[in-house]
Chain A
């Protein structure tokens, strides 16, 4: 998905009137350029939609200083895949059950899309989705992260996410006692 533009090519790009292009070029914090379907970007990201509507898209690469190239590549990959996928009937008529509302279950390809990511890549992607106002991608990434937490003990969760235990023994004991009445096992 990465576009390496030489000077000549960049010049060429500039000549094309922005309105005629069906892609937008995004620039990561480390200066890499990525091209994404304009329609998908506008549909999936409120921030990009605002930039496109407001004319603040730069043909030479709109600066997204908060997003690194790996995360931006995933964002662009997701947008382009989304542009090509036909929403399944399940997604359109997703039954609003108590548990899932207001979230829609990820599609099969969306699951695969996040399943292949490392923990770090997933973290960066959820941050990027949040920054760009990508509700659907946030749904998919947060769903994946919650799946990683389900059924695990605090110790196991700290291990999975490499979180430091910043409690003293006394504090943990305090929490245990506060909640003791709600638990049979403690």
Chain B
């Protein structure tokens, strides 16, 4: 599917590019396996069953039942320099039933495996929260519940994903919607055409599953994608019709963008060749959001190939903007110890370490001793960010890559 894009130039002319939900293309690229494909479903089903079969087999043989869960930690991520993405290493943890620390997780993993099979069997999808409730019950004879809270359940589902080697979508699970989109594009969402130029003030909510089988692109006129950190900034841009004036797509990820948003950005970039430009806060967390968009996250390193956008750019806010834009003292927010620690950690990541611009950027942030939010530009003028700041930077191509 990605191959369908003809050009990936930086500033494409407004050409009409169409991306069809193509079953033909599906499967040709491992990164874009469509969900709800009967074949994939069958494959996933088999994987789920074989997971349990392993447990049954060793239990009946009197051996200790174990599950192998690839490690989702920094130690098991590899920075693929040539592809410029984070990839998961081969390290795996054994999850053992007869280990006090893992016993409950073991049980939960199987519980969710059971839930997933049910979803697959009945061809339904469920939310993370739905899965939490599906697996939730009180263990007979005790007062203990199978899950303490949803975050526990979510972690188990991620484990299940990695250990099965199947994507969440393939397990028929979706996350809560987060993130919004407007712009010069029309998408087909499960057969419904949605014109993102006519989304009012609310915008199109980016669904959790953005696989080609669900979402197809149609009538794309935008030249690039501007991704902002938060809803508030996005509102400013939408109100000022920035996407119209600059012919772009405007997305927002409510902080750390969820997988749906990242997948959407990835597809816009890879399939349509649209550059992704990020406008994020000037603090370690903003930098990390950029890092996740660019190279993938540590905990979802196994999905980097279909989520990471190595060409994404960081437009702002930059540490030197305080002086360059002549901002008032009031916008400074002091860095706390955690921020400093985090900044140093980020500076140490191999994918930042080799980049001079980023090194300087973070060092300046540390030297400044304060962070700034995008909203701080409002102190200049309400629409300073849409009318001056971003256009100027875009024009000058003043960004970090």
Partners in one complex: no
- Interfacial residues, chain B to chain A (CB-CB below 8 A): none
- Interfacial residues, chain A to chain B (CB-CB below 8 A): none
